[in-house]
Structure 1
Amino acid sequence: MTYASPPIPDDPDTLLRALFDVAVAAADSMRVVPAALPPRPDGRVVVVGAGKASARMAEAVEAAWGPCAGLVITRYGYARSCQGIEVVEAAHPVPDAAGDVATGRMLRLLQGLGEGDFVLALISGGGSALLVQPAGQITLEEKRQVNAALLASGAPIGQMNAVRKHLSRVKGGQLAAAAYPARMLALMISDVPGDDPAFIASGPTVGDASTPADARAILDRWGIVPPKSVADVLAGETGVLAPDAAQLARVDNRVIAAPAQSLAAAADLARATGCDVDILGDALEGEARELAAEHAALALDRQRAMAPWARPLVLLSGGECTVTRRGDGLGGPNAEYALALVAALAGAPGIHAIACDTDGVDGAAEVAGAVIGPATLDRARALGLDPAVALATNDSHAFFAGVGAQVIPGPTLTNVNDFRAILVQPPKG
């Protein structure tokens, strides 16, 4: 499918930003939710949800169905005005009391529903931190400590979510179990590699085969010593449901937007400008700086193989990189990827790139990422900025703020993971 876009300018940086914008637009809830909705069911309808896109999804639902009863939890700054569905804002990526209280209210809203009732669950990335009610005797602060340690460890998102499920009263199918025996349709916008519904927002409507022992092993693997309350919960049985649990039999889980669709939209736009396109994958993981080094080498190799008259090439990729904190700087995986590209490309002519999180927030900063080009390194040096020093301290956001290369779109109200595009122009003959 081709998405409407403004005329494409010749400037590489503006082209790259247009590719990012069209990737975000392809995952807009006002586009994808109505197409996935059935006719409004007869009888009682309750809408619940959580994630960075949940308020926008709720807005789209009411545009199609009219006012609905319900509650969704989204990130601060991501609320939308709805007619009947209540929108609560809470903290992300580290949970806060607002998320805890709202999650408890959501569970109570689902209690007592019958077989004739219908629940629409709106789930998107960010829901893991926003749907938060700790299991056992775990306090919110203790759960925050574990969550922060996981975020700083470099652990893959799938492993982080496995731990989160077993420390929660709502994840791993427990939200759906609270609504049983009502019918439930869960619409999901994926921000996880592979688009597995069990990993999106830690799968509140999806069972999980992992065990408390698996969660303990993940904490051990990443050197995280949990508080006693967490260790006690993981020493016994948790509320996570098996995938074949009876309480999940009336749930229909559907992924309605995913990174692959956004990359395809960007590819269509790039081809319309006269570029060739190579999609490297929509589920790439690993250390941001290591992936950047691989992609820099690939871009240089592809450029060396191009004839001077060849069409420009755009290398597209998505997924979710991680950053292992080595310093006390401010950064996120997209800015760190872009910073590592600057270092690896060393000012190579004809290669430009953008790396942004599609939710508009890279790490914990209100910055989506950065755009770079051959002049970035010289501009940094003229300002006394060293990419190697910034990498060593994980200070990528400050580096790109200094050179004026940050991308700050504001809340995008969606989340289909990281977006990366490298524009490789042919060598000059």
Structure 2
Amino acid sequence: MDHLTAQDVWTIVAASLVLFMTPGLAFFYGGMTRVNSALNMILMSFVSIGLVGVVWALWGSSMATAPAMIPGIVGNPTGNFGLGQSISDGDLMSAGFSATFAIITVSLISGSIADRTKFGSWCVFVPLWVTLVYAPLAFMVWADGGLFAEHGLIGQRLGEAIDFAGGLVVHINAGVAGLVLCLVLGVRRNFTTRAEHRPHNVPFVMLGAAILWFGWFGFNAGAATDAAQAGRIWVNTLVCPAAAMLGWLLTERLRDKHPTSLGAASGIVAGLVAITPACANVDPAWAIVLGFVSGVACALAVGLKYRWGYDDTLDVVGVHLVAGIIGTLALGFIATSSTGRPGLFYGGGLGLLVTQVVATVATVGFTALGTFCIAWVLKRTIGFRISESDEEAGIDAMVHAETAYSLMAGASGERSGESMASASPAGGEDPRV
């Protein structure tokens, strides 16, 4: 019997860290919603673990890896059905690690459609999207022979796209999907009345951000091949979100006169997103610059939804899409020579930048089309949005028959968290806008 190697142990630890990120995201998102939809938001993340975990074991992992069913595009869903081939090859740990990436990607999307989505429709959307959008894109970027990989159609002509831990596959993918869904579903009630949609529990948001940052070290460093690379990734995953947090807080201070806890948490996530595709291929000094730029850019971007009228509830577009694009394209400038294809600032010319731009544009187009088709069918068949009365009353009580909080009010007995909505902040602007 083979013994566990250090790499095996680290893969197990890293996969566990990445899985822990989804409950962290549940707290992050749950705290950002209104009090009467907090449980629904948390449950959308948790149910994604169940749905994606099953799909990935049955056919998702097979579709994301070789052999191909459609060359360059997607793997054969029956080639490793039920992970049978992984069992034979002794490679179940790799399949498990990749499953956690699919889980967190789907969970990220849910933040764009908080407060107004049918839970049953979400449970149908998740397996369809993982099957038709996520798994094929993972194949195109990461699989041997994938479209953007070294031996793929685009990779052979322009060179391999660099996406070490998921700038394309995870964050741009989730950000575009979130944008499409929020456009299909439409805006919430009183969308422009920002006071009604302020976060109900900022400590939950801060806790969620802390868990995400902790888990992200496994997310980025899980695929490290040696100690030197792991060290670079770990340090970059520390300093990039640190700088992004400072950039976001400085932007708030200059624009709003008040740096906020919510801004700090959002800045951390923006920096984590930006460093994800670049974590193994940039120096720490450039990671700091990347983080600061992404923090400032995302702090400005989250307010665009009010100007342009798309209701991205929890800023999936403003953070994950924007920072994902920044981190992916930045490689064209700051990738070190260790990649074999240095960026422009390291004397590599425009070749890598062109590759990253093409991969980004193709990802946006593929995800937008696939997500729209799924959302349109669901909207036309089973419906995708709850009724206006249920939205006003709150999803937690109307759909799940639960409330997030219960308070004892003396002789009056138990008062549900539903009544706490009146105790939520009733005035002021969204501090991030």
Normalised by the length of structure 1, the TM-score is 0.29
Bigger proportion of residues as strand: 1
Q: Which has the higher helix share?
A: 2
> TM-score scaled by structure 2?
0.29
